[in-house]
Amino acid sequence: MTIGIALSTAETITSAALEKAAELNLKPLTVAVLDAGGHTVLLKRQDGSSIMRPQIASGKAIGALAVGTGTRWLNANAETRPHFVNALNGVSGGAIVPVPGGVLIRSEKGETLGAVGITGDTSDNDEACAVAGIEAAGLVADCG
């Protein structure tokens, strides 16, 4: 059996994340849902999102997948071990965005299914929307 994220699940995650953003009255968001292999399942960009938001959202999700936990962990390490995060970003070809808003998606059994990356508001708000989306899909969010 292949473990992954179905398109219908990705749609639930993005819809719930954007509903949370509306509830919090946030700036326009971009949401990327990636499978465990780092492939894009769904990318949604709200009207008014700036031009680099798809790359930032994907970079947050890739960062979570790269280290096996949410990007809050990467953010902390960027402050305490910048050489590590710089090296990690180097070997990834610059694909990692090490700030909160990248959240690992886990099954109830703890299996990594993919990751969500959200950008557009503060990193804390981006992360809160990712968690809301993942939990609305009945899955476990790992923020790091």
Question: Would you list the domain boundaries of the chain?
Answer: 7-137
pLDDT of amino acid 144:
85
- How much is the mean pLDDT over the chain? 96
> How far apart are alpha carbons 37 and 30 in whole angstroms?
20
**Top-level class of domain 7-137:** alpha beta
pLDDT band at 1 (very low <50, low <70, confident <90, very high): very low
For the chain, give the percent of residues with pLDDT over 90: 97
Q: What is the mean pLDDT of residues 72-95?
A: 95
Instruction: Enter the pTM of the model.
Output: 0.96
Burial of 95 per CB tally in 10 Å (0-12, 13-18, 19+) = middle
For residue 124, the SS3 value is helix
Q: Are 130 and 103 in contact (CB under 8 A)?
A: yes
Amino acid (1-letter code) at residue 43: L
